[in-house]
Copies of this chain bind each other. A is one copy, B any other.
Amino acid sequence: MTAFIGEFNCKLDEKGRLSIPSKLRAQFPEAVGNTLVVNRGFEKCLVLYTKEDWLDETAKLNAVDDFMSPDIRRFKRIFTNGANLVQIDGAQRILVPKKLLEYAELTAEVILVANGNKIELWDQAIYESELNVDAAEMSQLAQLFHQQRNQG
């Protein structure tokens, strides 16, 4: 599994092309080649994976049997159906499908946030509000995290 690190400001041009910062590009293992996968995130953002990591993710999902329940089938469908293959072009850019741009409300200023094997794409303004927490809320979140970690 790849482990990406970094937060980057990027620009989306009018053609919907997003250039990958060289600092991030350098973190891709050679084997990745030029093919990535973009998908909708749970929040109003997009998620970028290497093709290999994406296949791992879907393999984990598919380990859960479809027979189990309609909800399982529905979740798997919804989670998977936004995924798109994208190619990195000669100028280190990817062309993000319009549908996904609209979903995450990406316009010009985009933030790439790498964490583990995922790279999230956020509209700058939305990202800032997501991260803007006051102390009270923060300690509540910490408590929640603490609980959920311990109950597994």
Chain A residues engaging chain B, CB cutoff 8 angstroms: 3, 5-7, 9, 23, 27, 37, 42-43, 51, 54-55, 58, 62-64, 66, 68-78, 80-85, 99, 113-116, 130-131, 133, 138, 141-142, 144-145, 148-149
Closest to A41 in B: B73
Known A116-B58, A149-B63; contact A74-B5, beta-carbon cutoff 8 A: no
Of the listed residues A72, A75, A84, A130, the one surrounded by the most CB atoms of chain B closer than 10 A to its CB is A75
Contact with A99, one of B7, B37, B66, B81 (Cβ below 8 angstroms): B7
What B residues does A144 contact at CB under 8 A?
Answer: 69, 71-72, 75
CA distance A110 to B54 in the complex (A): 25
Q: A58 to chain B: which residues have CB within 8 Å?
A: 115-116
4 A-B pairs with the lowest CB-CB distances in the bound complex, closest first? A75-B141, A75-B145, A64-B149, A6-B84
Chain B residues near A138: list those with CB within 8 A: 78
User: What residues on B are CB-neighbors of A23 within 8 Å?
Assistant: 84-85
Closest to A138 in B: B78
Known pairs A9-B99, A64-B145; list 7 more (Cβ under 8 Å). Answer: A5-B37, A5-B85, A64-B149, A71-B144, A75-B144, A76-B115, A77-B131
